[in-house]
Structure 1
């Protein structure tokens, strides 16, 4: 193994850890507080880092530090190397039942409904782990790059940058939730759909992306007389009203009150979609991230089985 000892002797591993925290916090003052250093001491650390890498590494953009291209390269390499060093020093792998780790998950509203309760039930086996769910926002993928989120659970409807990795969770479709006494049959036609009154779920910028993209391709829009922030709220609002709510089938099957609401098929022009989990490629080899992703896979298997059972019960009841 050829190692350039002269360069390693001039390096300080602590500097590299400080750099990661600076990138995460985007602020010298916040990073200094987190590291329990003075701002002047951390500013000197940044100068040493710049000298070590012969690059500015971090530059101010709109009052916040952003990594330069070289700084981003360094960050991505450190994300691979530092977990291995940590494991080398600690001498053991990630043991979820014994670890105190916080996992930050950004999820679409429908996926929070599905995976949150399953994680809560499993928590008895991992009592020291903390799971922080945050709402679905436009900057969700940027947060992965900034290390302020560990995993994004999303619908697969946009191209992702090359530094992000995605994996399919499961395929889903949309359903229309209507009042039990609604005149609509098992499927609503596009003509009926466009003539009806709708409750929209504003996920991003007053949009319901999957549905709005499909309708935009047809050159049509819905008549939305109500707008709400959550799928669960929309599902409850249709009971006893003429409203139509277009929602993910998996979530709706588990949450619907079948005494007051029916789930029917949407217009044929509205297709299916896929749910994915997304992470930064620097987390590919991180033991904690590997455990979290495997847990998501296991819960997905459990979830799909539960949804199938719920659908079968509904079919039997409808006979």
Structure 2
């Protein structure tokens, strides 16, 4: 039985139900000779004629009758457990989704994502994590992280898919009642002011710093910090200026005594993308998560 061909079972079932080799062939979309050959193989394997031609059609032997019930069970289990696609229902899921977010990700993405979850997946939860590129590659592969969303130039694993969501740029922040009142700061003002500089784990801030080095622009740095969250309090109570990704600046301006000012030089934009592993490309939950992110943020 180690060499038994399981593909013969559907043919036996079709002959049993149709009581005819030719009718079974039509049902299975096979040729009649192919069904006859398969029946002969089955007879040899089980040492029984299985079906006998009578005036009422192909009648099953007792051995064939005992074969049919387990055959139906086997084929049904294959259909439901193996072949059927898993249907993900966000409305009933209690799954925790883990998203790796870059430095600006939580401010840009999480509020809208949580609002969408409350409407469409009220039983689900979200975990935001921060990892090194090496750790993140492994976490995406083993399913510890569902998506990496943001600016991740170091994610270059060939087994990772990616989708661009939108392009982003930079903005300067001043306190609302700062002496500089214009909507765009001049280069002269930019160089005279004291600057706060964020040296965060994320890579997006590096783009601005590298541009300044390339153009040989030297600021007067008064404060360096690894944390974005202290920036609104520092800027609101000083004459300092800081340059941050626009989404960060827009978030701070909503809740603090902060004003947005265009920078004095043209700064290249950068793309925010979502990344996922090839293993989970067809996973229903992963498909749903990245689909709603694309709906909410593509083209922003």
What's the TM-score once normalised by structure 2's chain length?
Answer: 0.63
Please say which of residues 272-281 and 198-207 is displaced more in the overlay: 198-207
**Counterparts of residues 167-182 of structure 1 (less than 5 Å):** 167-182=163-178
Secondary structure of the residue aligned to 1:109 is coil
Mapped pair 1:151 → 2:147:
yes
Mapped pair 1:127 → 2:122:
yes
**Counterparts of residues 51-62 of structure 1 (less than 5 Å):** none
Match of 1:211 in 2: 208
Match of 2:89 in 1: 95
Q: What is the root-mean-square deviation in Å for CA atoms of aligned residues?
A: 3.4
Residues 205 and 232 (structure 1 numbering): CA distance in 2 closer, same or farther, change over 3 Å? closer
Aligned mate of 2:252, from 232, 251, 255: 255
Secondary structure of the residue aligned to 1:97 is coil
After superposition, give the CA deviation of every residue in 1:229-267 in whole Å (9 maximum; x if it has no partner): 443431332113121121121332243148732111113
Distance 2:146 2:224 in 1: 30
Following superposition, the deviation at residue 198 of structure 1 comes to: 1.8
Q: Report the structure number with the largest CA radius of gyration.
A: 2
Following superposition, the deviation at residue 297 of structure 1 comes to: 1.4
Instruction: Report if the CA contact (8 A) 2:141-2:279 is conserved.
Output: no
Distance 1:209 1:109 in 2: 11
Following superposition, the deviation at residue 168 of structure 1 comes to: 1.0
Following superposition, the deviation at residue 287 of structure 1 comes to: 1.2
Consecutive unaligned residues in structure 1, runs of 5 or more:
10-84, 305-319
Distance 2:158 2:107 in 1: 29
Following superposition, the deviation at residue 164 of structure 1 comes to: 1.6
Residues 118 and 145 (structure 1 numbering): CA distance in 2 closer, same or farther, change over 3 Å? same
After superposition, give the CA deviation of every residue in 1:116-153 in whole Å (9 maximum; x if it has no partner): 12222233331322211013544434432343211111
Secondary structure of the residue aligned to 2:190 is helix
What's the TM-score once normalised by structure 1's chain length?
Answer: 0.60
Residues 224 and 171 (structure 1 numbering): CA distance in 2 closer, same or farther, change over 3 Å? same
